Amino acid sequence: MTGTVYKSTGSWYQVKSDEGKFYQCRIKGKFRIKGIKSTNPVAVGDRVEFKLEDNPSEEEETGVITGIKDRENYIIRRSVNLSKQTHIIASNIDQAFLLVTLNNPPTFTTFIDRFLVTAEAYGIKAILLFNKIDTYKDEELDEVKYLAAMYRSIGYECLGTSAKTGKNVDKVKEMMKDKTSMISGHSGTGKSTLINTIEPKLDLKTMHISEQHRQGQHTTTFAEMFDLDFGARIIDTPGIKGFGVVDIEKEELGDYFPEFFERKQDCKFNNCLHLDEPQCAVKEALEAGEIPWSRYKSYLQIIKGEEDQSYRIDNYEQE
């Protein structure tokens, strides 16, 4: 049978067959995939082949995963104790929404750009949701419009939303239909509120708390996939605000800024890093106002290996 992995808790995998039935499945023996040094051979989102076990005595039908199909993409986390190994958080993700708020909490463009770069590197479509639009005054609305226009000009879809009043939530649902989505953003930007507005019965926050309560404090939280009523799937990655880590070589970083990439062929040197090289098409476009300075600033920050301070911003004022 063929199915999709919805949850993994280490030794058991919850697999939903293409016919729509859930089975608890295991992996037998040494199940390793060539080329990937991962602590978990099977991840949430994986398309797998499995066969049912003969265990008439047991009430629940269980299965054994016999194969895994090629992944369209996957996001990883470095394993804590085994330095060379990685942990695959989830796979086959169609799109990732980033919730952006201007000041409660602040989401800086450097954070947005890092998110977009990572999405490009992983091969995942990224969409920006400017949330809490109901709280903005004219000036802030202008800033949202400016940012949205800028990111749209690069090719990213942007939408102003209010998880609270429901504004444009129907559009978000439309975008999510028949797809597997992730929802990211700083703490307090409204991820849980948005999900609750979309599907009230799926109360992720309470689910996480009860799970923690059951398992105790020091547990690894696992990614999990959920079906939504209107034919969409979301992958919830508790405790992971962004995308996990990805190592990007200096030489390839510019390729993940689409507006840099499209100009790269006009740089004098084909290995141009767009720093101090002469006749750099990216810097020329920057001077001409065709590339926003904020994007170049993010590029410099990443290429110099600087930590993004805005990653640490996890505080916001409660109303």
Ligand X SMILES: Nc1nc2c(ncn2[C@@H]2O[C@H](COP(=O)(O)OP(=O)(O)OP(=O)(O)O)[C@@H](O)[C@H]2O)c(=O)[nH]1
User: Which residues sit at the interface with Zn ion, rule CB under 5 A?
Assistant: 267, 272, 274, 280, 282
6-17: b (≥16 Cβ within 10 Å) or e: bbbeeeebbbbb
Choose the binding region for ligand X from 30-38, 109-117, 158-166, 230-238 (rule: CB under 6 A). 158-166
Q: Which tokens hold the place of 98?
A: 């980033």
* Partner touching 272 among ligand X, Zn ion, none, CB below 5 to 8 Å by kind: Zn ion
In the complex, the smallest distance separating the C-beta of residue 35 from ligand X, rounded to whole angstroms, is 34
Rg (CA), the chain: 21
Sign of CA dihedral 196, 131, 248, 94: positive
**162 annotated ligand-binding residue:** no
**H helix or E strand, kind and range, residue 296:** helix 293-303
* Partner touching 54 among ligand X, Zn ion, none, CB below 5 to 8 Å by kind: none
Binds ligand X (CB under 6 A): choice among 135, 212, 301, 310: 135
**274 annotated ligand-binding residue:** yes
Three-state SS letters, 238-285: CCCCCCCCCCCCHHHHHHHCHHHHCCHHHCCCCCCCCCCCCCCHHHHH
Binds ligand X (CB under 6 A): choice among 4, 192, 237, 298: 192
Q: Per CB under 6 A, does 125 bind ligand X?
A: no
In the complex, the smallest distance separating the C-beta of residue 159 from Zn ion, rounded to whole angstroms, is 32
* Window 238-277: contact mask with ligand X (x via CB under 6 A): ----------------------------------------
Where are the extended beta strands (E) located within 34-79? 47-52, 62-68, 74-78
In the complex, the smallest distance separating the C-beta of residue 239 from ligand X, rounded to whole angstroms, is 9
**Peptide linkage before 105 cis (omega within 30 of 0):** yes
* Partner touching 25 among Zn ion, ligand X, none, CB below 5 to 8 Å by kind: none
Query: How many residues bind ligand X, per CB under 6 A?
Result: 17
In the complex, the smallest distance separating the C-beta of residue 144 from ligand X, rounded to whole angstroms, is 12
Strands 47-52 and 62-68: antiparallel
Write phi, then psi, for 228 (nearest 5 degrees).
Answer: -100, 155
When the beta carbons of 235 and 280 are compared against Zn ion, the nearer one is: 280
Which residue in the shown chain puts its C-beta closest to ligand X?
Answer: 190
What number of CA atoms fall less than 13 Å from residue 188's CA on the CB side?
A: 15
Choose the binding region for ligand X from 31-39, 45-53, 106-114, 132-140 (rule: CB under 6 A). 132-140
Residue 170 CB-density burial (10 A; 0-12 exposed, 13-18 middle, 19+ buried)? exposed
114-143: b (≥16 Cβ within 10 Å) or e: bbbbbbbbbebbbbbbbbbbeebeeebeee
**247 annotated ligand-binding residue:** no
Binds ligand X (CB under 6 A): choice among 86, 131, 180, 237: 131
Q: Per CB under 6 A, does 160 bind ligand X?
A: no
In the complex, the smallest distance separating the C-beta of residue 39 from ligand X, rounded to whole angstroms, is 25
When the beta carbons of 118 and 189 are compared against ligand X, the nearer one is: 189
**220 annotated ligand-binding residue:** no
161-190 positions binding ligand X, by CB under 6 A: 162-164, 185, 187-190
Contact 131, 144 (CB under 8 A): no
Nearest partner of 87 among 95, 96, 99, 79, judged by Cα? 79
In the complex, the smallest distance separating the C-beta of residue 282 from Zn ion, rounded to whole angstroms, is 4
* Binding residue numbers: 131-134, 185-193, 267, 272, 274, 280
Interface positions with ligand X (CB under 6 A): 131-132, 134-135, 162-164, 185, 187-193, 318-319
